[in-house]
Amino acid sequence: MRFHFVANIGAFTAINGAFVPTRSTLACMTGVYDLAAVYARVELAVTNTAPTAAYRGAGRPVMSYILERLVDEAAVALNMGAAELRRLNLVPKERFPYTTAHGAVYDSGEFEVVLDKALKAADWSGFEQRRAASAARGRLRGRGIAHVHRGHGRGLCTQGRSDHEVRRRRQNHRLCRRAITGPGPRNDIRPGHCRTLGIPVEHVLLRSGEAGIRLVGNSAGGSRSMLGIGSTCRITSLTVIEKGMALAADALEAPAADIEFKDGDYRIKGTDRSITMLELMRRHAGTSPHPLDTSGEGKFGRHLSEQLPYRRSRDRS
């Protein structure tokens, strides 16, 4: 595939104004398809209009539209169904981790499963019957299909790193500190942490930006809240659970190998003897630091400069 398009960036370059139609757009230019070669040229035009910047999608919808429109045109030219042609060109599950023609790495994916679910939900095979019924009423009915594949969570610094820590704040409470801005994650990260640990949400306090606390993170843009700190939160929570295995084994007077964790309970396998995560927290409340205090770090994606092949080429020259 070859792409060439012109992007209006306005009267002057604003923050990330040139980034959106170039790197952000081209990062997902192969979409979900197994493509051997791809080329793109983007020209940035300075005009007399207002400068542009990131707004709801930041270039990804543009690339998805261009790519999916091309696939539709190919389906017409080949006299094939739009869904059929897409299925033939999807990256198969056994190819993961998959490196795209432009160097991006997809760690996992089940694109065909997603396609099947969409076709079933839309009753794709029943479309002709619905169209005939619409025609009988003097109306037109159409349909469309598209795979929208987006790159999220890239870091403008520190490799997209997000730090997270869990500390005992007071009796029966855990303090979670995050390294990211924005109010939205409060409603998502705390319940996610609680589900993993199996403790009520009222027992977790979430803080960010505290004086004297050094945690590394990025802004909340590009879905980094859930992909970055949300994933790091889960990693940290799983570490807390692992730390608790030995403590639970001691409390239950059983070998650690016989202990399992599920829904907030440490249990001796095959028995009804158990101890909850909250009870384990209480038992060691007088210990400083608390044995379940944990710090976590997650790195997602690569440093932005490592994702710009044209920039590396320029540096070498």
Residue 110 shares a structural domain with residue 237: no
Residue 110 shares a structural domain with residue 163: no
d(CA 185, CA 206): 10
Name all contacts of 262-267 with Cβ < 8 Å and 24+ positions apart.
262/198, 263/198, 264/197, 264/198, 264/199, 265/198
Q: Is residue 150 part of a domain?
A: no
d(CA 248, CA 274): 8
| pLDDT of 179 strictly over 70 | no
Residue 176 shares a structural domain with residue 248: yes
In terms of pLDDT, which residue wins out, 15 or 240? 240
Query: For the residues 223-252, what does the mean pLDDT come to?
Result: 82
Please write the tens of the pLDDT for every residue from 34-90.
999 999 898 999 999 999 887 776 777 888 888 999 999 999 999 999 999 999 999
d(CA 144, CA 125): 13
| pLDDT of 267 strictly over 60 | yes
DSSP 123: T
Tell me what pLDDT residue 172 has: 47
Q: Is residue 314 part of a domain?
A: no
Domain edge (last residue) among 104, 136, 168 = 136
HEC letters along 265-292:
EEEECCCCCEEEHHHHHHHCCCCCCCCC
Q: What is the mean pLDDT of the chain?
A: 79
Range of the domain at 288: 158-304
Residue 132 shares a structural domain with residue 10: yes
CATH code assigned at 7 = 3.30.365.10
Tell me what pLDDT residue 27 has: 79
Q: Is residue 168 part of a domain?
A: yes
Helix or strand run (H / E) with residue 20: none
Residue 172 shares a structural domain with residue 258: yes
Please spell the DSSP secondary structure of 144-186, one letter per residue.
-----------BSSGGGEEEEEEEEEETTEEEEEESB--STTH
Tell me what pLDDT residue 166 has: 59
Domain edge (last residue) among 79, 104, 136 = 136
Residue 113 shares a structural domain with residue 181: no
Q: Is residue 316 part of a domain?
A: no
Query: For the residues 148-170, what does the mean pLDDT come to?
Result: 57
Please write the tens of the pLDDT for every residue from 192-232.
777 888 888 777 766 666 666 666 666 666 666 666 677 77
Tell me what pLDDT residue 174 has: 53
| pLDDT of 292 strictly over 50 | yes
Residue 115 shares a structural domain with residue 183: no
Tell me what pLDDT residue 288 has: 76
Tell me what pLDDT residue 74 has: 96
Q: Is residue 153 part of a domain?
A: no
Strand 39-46 relative to strand 98-99, pairing: unpaired
Please write the tens of the pLDDT for every residue from 121-149.
999 999 999 999 999 999 999 999 999 88
Residue 54 shares a structural domain with residue 166: no
Residue 90 shares a structural domain with residue 209: no
Tell me what pLDDT residue 274 has: 93
Residue 163 shares a structural domain with residue 124: no
- 19: three-class secondary structure by DSSP: coil
Least confident of 40-49, 196-205, 277-286, 303-312: 303-312
Residues 6+ apart with CB under 8 A from 21: 7, 9, 42, 44, 52, 59, 62
Report residue 261's pLDDT band, with 50, 70 and 90 as the boundaries: very high
Q: Is residue 144 part of a domain?
A: no
Residue 166 shares a structural domain with residue 298: yes
Residue 126 shares a structural domain with residue 162: no
Least confident of 96-105, 134-143, 232-241: 232-241
Domain edge (last residue) among 105, 136, 167 = 136
**How many domains does one find in the chain?**
2
DSSP 262: E
Q: Is residue 118 part of a domain?
A: yes
Q: Is residue 42 part of a domain?
A: yes
In terms of pLDDT, which residue wins out, 59 or 254? 254
- 8: three-class secondary structure by DSSP: strand
